[in-house]
């Protein structure tokens, strides 16, 4: 499933390609002005912290932001960071190495595809790298993607680095929600909220940077629900929209199915954590749209290509029940993120889903 394998890396590579082609200086990021402004002020004041937490929904560009920050910290392009607005030049060797993922002082740590969690061995390797001198740059930078996927042992182990950091070390953790981390970690990092983009920002970016035509950009920017990473993937990969439609078609039929049929769906999607997450994300947006449609706000729904169905179904279910379902899905998402068995969590959700024809 392409939806399931969508990741920051894809988005970063796509953004990097765009940026290399353009060769323009600067952060070159769509939106996230508040986060960039905060980081710039930190750099200008020469008060770079040892650890940051970029918190915000999946696929909105936290990974890109982390890499641009790393570029800016390591850029050898010559601009005086205390005078000019700090930004990467995107042309020096250091900037290009970070862009292409081969700078020896920038370490990306993420969950291995065959593992359920970020492991203590990965954190120990990080600590070993962090205790060494930098190889090329002034800083040793560690980007821990989806840091909430650390198990308890790994999370406790990273605390040691957060408590006694080497002078040159900068840790950047990314998470969909800061509440998913231990309070002891949160208290030792500077949290920066990374926000969803507007549909307008995404539409303009798709037209200007990815040369989309207006009608495709219209639909994709609506479906993206604020996530540029998802939008970029959708225009680059023709199958993605088709797969979204197939998965959503099977999800919207659930209220008409028997319990046995509902559990069959769980069996298909619940055995794979990534697939379960993708289905829950899609389903949450659907019930959010149902609540909006039930309140007469059909034009604000993200599933713009399915508004007729939203209109007829929401009339049957009503606003309160739609909002309740959205909350139930959110709760299931939290359970899955906290490593509760995805299949069990989905089965409970299936029993909670209303019946209607
Ligand atoms: Zn540079």
Domain that holds residue 265: 239-352
- Report the CATH number at residue 8: 3.40.50.300
Residue 112 lies in a domain: yes
Same domain, 182 and 230: no
Distance from the alpha carbon of residue 139 to the mean position of ligand 1, in angstroms: 14
DSSP string of 119-140, one letter each residue: -HHHHHHHHHHHTSPPSSSS-E
Q: How far apart are CA 248 and CA 274, in angstroms?
A: 16
Distance from the alpha carbon of residue 92 to the mean position of ligand 1, in angstroms: 4
- Among residues 135, 165, 193, which one ends one of the domains? 193
Through-space distance between the first and last CA atoms of the chain, rounded to whole angstroms: 29
Distance from the alpha carbon of residue 70 to the mean position of ligand 1, in angstroms: 10
Same domain, 216 and 284: no
Same domain, 147 and 255: no
Distance from the alpha carbon of residue 101 to the mean position of ligand 1, in angstroms: 14
Same domain, 215 and 162: no
Residue 165 to residues 137, 161, 274: CA-CA distances in angstroms? 17, 5, 33
Predicted structure pTM score: 0.84
Distance from the alpha carbon of residue 141 to the mean position of ligand 1, in angstroms: 16
Q: Is the dihedral of CA 206, 207, 209, 212 positive or negative?
A: positive
Same domain, 42 and 140: yes
**Which is nearest to 255 in space by CA: 169, 301, 318, 196?**
318
Distance from the alpha carbon of residue 73 to the mean position of ligand 1, in angstroms: 9
Helical residues (DSSP H) of the chain, grouped into ranges: 2-5, 8-22, 33-44, 62-74, 93-99, 120-130, 152-163, 183-186, 199-209, 214-223, 228-236, 238-252, 259-270, 273-294, 307-317, 319-337, 342-352
Distance from the alpha carbon of residue 25 to the mean position of ligand 1, in angstroms: 8
Q: Give the chain's residues under pLDDT 70.
A: 1-25, 79-83
Length of the chain: 357
Same domain, 42 and 74: yes
The number of folded domains in the chain is: 3
Same domain, 178 and 32: yes
Distance from the alpha carbon of residue 106 to the mean position of ligand 1, in angstroms: 14
Distance from the alpha carbon of residue 336 to the mean position of ligand 1, in angstroms: 40
Same domain, 283 and 223: no
Q: How far apart are CA 307 and CA 289, in angstroms?
A: 9
Alpha-carbon torsion, ordered 193, 171, 154, 136, to 10 deg: 150
Same domain, 256 and 131: no
Q: How far apart are CA 66 and CA 49, in angstroms?
A: 14
Cβ(298)–Cβ(307) below 8 Å: yes
Condensed to tens digits (0 to 9), the pLDDT of residues 164-219 reads 888 899 999 999 999 999 999 999 999 999 999 999 999 999 999 999 999 999 99
Residue 357 lies in a domain: no
Q: Phi and psi of 109, rounded to 5°?
A: -120, 125
Condensed to tens digits (0 to 9), the pLDDT of residues 72-119 reads 999 998 765 556 778 898 899 999 999 999 999 999 999 998 888 999
- Among residues 160, 193, 226, which one ends one of the domains? 193
Same domain, 226 and 261: no
- Report the CATH number at residue 310: 1.20.272
- Among residues 136, 164, 193, which one ends one of the domains? 193
């Amino acid at each position: 499933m392409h939806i399931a394998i969508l990741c920051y890396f894809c988005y970063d590579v796509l953004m990097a390609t765009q940026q290399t082609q353009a060769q323009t200086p600067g952060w070159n990021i769509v939106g996230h002005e508040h986060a960039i402004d905060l980081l710039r002020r930190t750099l200008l004041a020469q008060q770079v912290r040892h650890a940051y937490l970029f918190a915000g929904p999946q696929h909105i560009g936290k990974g890109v932001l982390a890499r641009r920050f790393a570029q800016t910290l390591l850029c050898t392009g010559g601009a005086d960071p205390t005078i000019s607005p700090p930004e990467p030049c995107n042309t020096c060797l250091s900037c290009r190495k970070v862009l292409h993922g081969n700078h020896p002082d920038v370490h990306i740590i993420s969950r291995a595809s065959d593992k359920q969690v970020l492991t203590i061995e990965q954190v120990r390797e990080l600590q070993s790298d962090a205790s060494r001198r930098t190889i090329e740059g002034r800083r040793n930078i560690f980007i821990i993607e989806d840091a909430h996927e650390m198990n308890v042992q790994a999370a406790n182990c990273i605390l040691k680095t957060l408590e006694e950091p080497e002078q040159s070390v900068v840790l950047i953790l990314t998470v969909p929600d800061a509440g998913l981390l231990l309070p002891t970690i949160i208290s030792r990092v500077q949290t920066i909220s990374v926000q969803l983009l507007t549909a307008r920002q995404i539409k303009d970016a798709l037209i200007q940077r990815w040369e989309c035509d207006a009608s495709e950009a219209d639909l994709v920017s609506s479906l993206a629900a604020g996530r540029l990473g998802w939008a970029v993937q959708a225009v680059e990969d023709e199958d993605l929209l088709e797969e979204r439609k197939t998965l959503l078609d099977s999800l919207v039929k659930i209220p008409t199915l028997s319990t046995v049929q509902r559990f069959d769906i769980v069996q298909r999607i619940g055995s794979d954590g990534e697939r379960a997450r993708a289905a829950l994300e899609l389903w949450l947006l659907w019930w959010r749209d149902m609540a909006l449609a039930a309140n007469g706000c059909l034009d604000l729904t993200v599933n713009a290509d399915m508004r007729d169905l939203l209109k007829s179904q929401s009339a049957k279910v009503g606003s309160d029940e739609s909002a309740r379902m959205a909350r139930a899905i959110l709760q299931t998402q939290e359970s899955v993120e906290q490593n509760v068995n995805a299949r069990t969590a989905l089965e409970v959700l299936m029993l909670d889903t209303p019946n209607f024809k």
